[in-house]
Chain A
């Protein structure tokens, strides 16, 4: 079965500090991996994706993610967090044969001044 896990329900970070939001996946073959962000009462906004190539991918708003095949992880990172980064973050996987996005349960990121 294909699945995505986000082990932390909540991550708290001080503004200016680096942040990491963790994601691991279980998909046969080489998956396509995505991060989305959801601000309160809003839809899901695409942040970045990994398809192939360089394991470090850069996305919107200064976010980046590191793909690690051996650990089946795709952690979201940002070198310096902003208060405005506070939101719900979803990791998602798309099987290599295509099809629906499968989402993790989400991680609430809280950045305090």
Chain B
């Protein structure tokens, strides 16, 4: 079945350093729809990015990701982390339903 893998459970880095959170997926569908959701403490998940176009960079609020069907990846990146970026980040895949990865907790220190 469909699955989403986020290899890092926790990423800790210093403010100003670049961010990269990994996401890979497995699916039988040839046209996957991938999402990144962000969940701040005591809040509900909020859509950050989405893409279904191969090799096209999508950007929002300083974050960007590119769907690469050849490697089944949709890694989330940001050039310079901010303290306010500390949150849980979920990669999700839309097949017949939205399947979430296990999440990566990003902790940005001053």
A and B from one complex: no
Mark A residues whose CB is within 8 Å of B.
Answer: none
